[in-house]
């Protein structure tokens, strides 16, 4: 009588151990099926240069302000202080590079 009880308890214990072994750890690439979709990666160089604005576009600072500005007119130099808004073609690329912006 006791041997059948101990035998059934042992099979339950083995089943629990097997379930613990089959479950993947939540850190590796095998766990993607457990967690769901993988996260999208942000392009860090783009995120440092572009900023999302309210209407869904992106803006950045104008380049070319550091040196060799002698031959520019003062109005052209001041014009480089204004932010630059992205074009439609750039927006498609930026949406892919900055998925969480």
Mean pLDDT of 5-29: 58
In a domain, 3, yes or no: no
Domains in the chain, number: 1
Record the pTM.
0.59
In a domain, 4, yes or no: no
In the block, tokens 């001041």 appear at 78
Residue whose C-alpha is closest to residue 90's, from 44, 59, 64, 45: 59
pLDDT band at 97 (very low <50, low <70, confident <90, very high): very high
- Interatomic CA distance for residues 64 and 31, integer angstroms: 47
pLDDT tens profile 75-95:
999 999 999 999 999 999 999
Q: What is the CATH number of the domain that holds 78?
A: 4.10.410.60
Neighbours of 91 (CB within 10 A): 14
Q: 72: buried, middle or exposed (CB in 10 Å: 19+, 13-18, 0-12)?
A: middle
In a domain, 70, yes or no: yes
In a domain, 66, yes or no: yes
Is pLDDT larger for residue 24 or for residue 7? 7
């Amino acid at each position: 009588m006791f041997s059948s009880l101990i035998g059934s308890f042992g099979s339950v214990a083995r089943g629990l151990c097997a379930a613990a072994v089959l479950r993947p750890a939540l850190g590796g690439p095998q766990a993607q099926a457990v967690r769901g979709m993988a996260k999208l990666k942000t392009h860090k160089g783009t995120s440092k240069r572009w900023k999302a604005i309210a209407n869904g576009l992106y803006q950045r600072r104008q380049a070319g302000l550091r040196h060799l500005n002698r031959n520019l007119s003062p109005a052209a130099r001041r014009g480089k202080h204004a932010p630059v808004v992205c074009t439609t073609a750039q927006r498609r690329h930026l949406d892919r590079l900055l998925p969480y912006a």
